[in-house]
Chain A
C-alpha cells in the first residue's frame, strides 16, 4: 500500500512550457485534490474531484487543468507555465464521506 504518490519530485520549466504533474493513490479513494503551497499562504486548493469523470475548480484554478479518467489517477496539467506558478504542489485523497485526508510527498516546481 503506497498511499498517495507524486511524480516528479522536482521540475524546472521555462516560461510557456507545458507539463503534467502525476498523482496516484491505491486506497480506492473517491475524493482527490491538488493544492499549491506558497510561503505564508498555507495550502490553497487548485482543483478537486469526487470521482472518476467529475472535477471541479478550487480557489486558484487559473492556468491549470485536470481530468479524472480512473479512480486511481488525478493528473494536473500546466498549460503554459508562468513564474507565478513556481510553488510546491501537493496531491491528496480521502473517501468522499470520510474524514482524514492523505497527502503525497509533493512536487517542487520552478518556472524560470
Chain B
C-alpha cells in the first residue's frame, strides 16, 4: 500500500525567510510525486510534480521540491516566503503504473507572518 507522511501540522515562517514543508512517502515501484495547495474555501491547485529526471523540480509561484530516493522524501521549498503563500499544502504520491489512485498526506498549514 502507498502512503504519505507530512509530519508538521503547521509551519510558521517570517516573510522573506526561506520555507520548507516536509513530505515522506512509501510506494511500490517508481513514484509520481505531487504538491498541491489549497486556499481557504477553494479546491486544490497543482503546484509541481516529480515524474522522472532531475531531482530538483520547479513549479508555480516560485516553489520547488527536491526528490530524494534514498530518504523517500519530497520536501517543498521556497527561497523567500510571501504572506500570500499562507495556505494548506498537500503532498501526494502514486506509482507510475497508470490505474493507481493518488494518495494524499494529511496536509501542512503554512503561516507566513509579515
Contact = CB atoms under 8 A, between A and B. Distances in A.
A90 B104 CA distance: 13
Contacts of B102: 33, 45, 92, 101
Given A41-B106, A99-B49, A33 B101 contact: yes
A43 B34 CA distance: 14
B101 A90 contact: no
A104 interface: yes
B32 A99 contact: yes
Contacts of A48: 101
B101 A40 contact: no
Interface residues of A, number: 25
Interface stretch (B13-21, B40-48, B69-77): B40-48
Interface in B23-75: 32, 34, 36, 42-46, 49, 51
Interface string A77-112: 000000000000010100011111111111000000
A43 B49 contact: no
Given A96-B98, A99-B32, A99-B51, A43 B46 contact: no
Interface of B: 4, 6, 9, 32, 34, 36, 42-46, 49, 51, 90, 98-99, 101-107
Sorted nearest first, the 6 A-B pairs with minimum C-beta distance are A97-B98, A42-B104, A42-B106, A43-B104, A103-B44, A105-B43
Interface of A: 31, 33, 35, 40-45, 48, 50, 58, 90, 92, 96-106
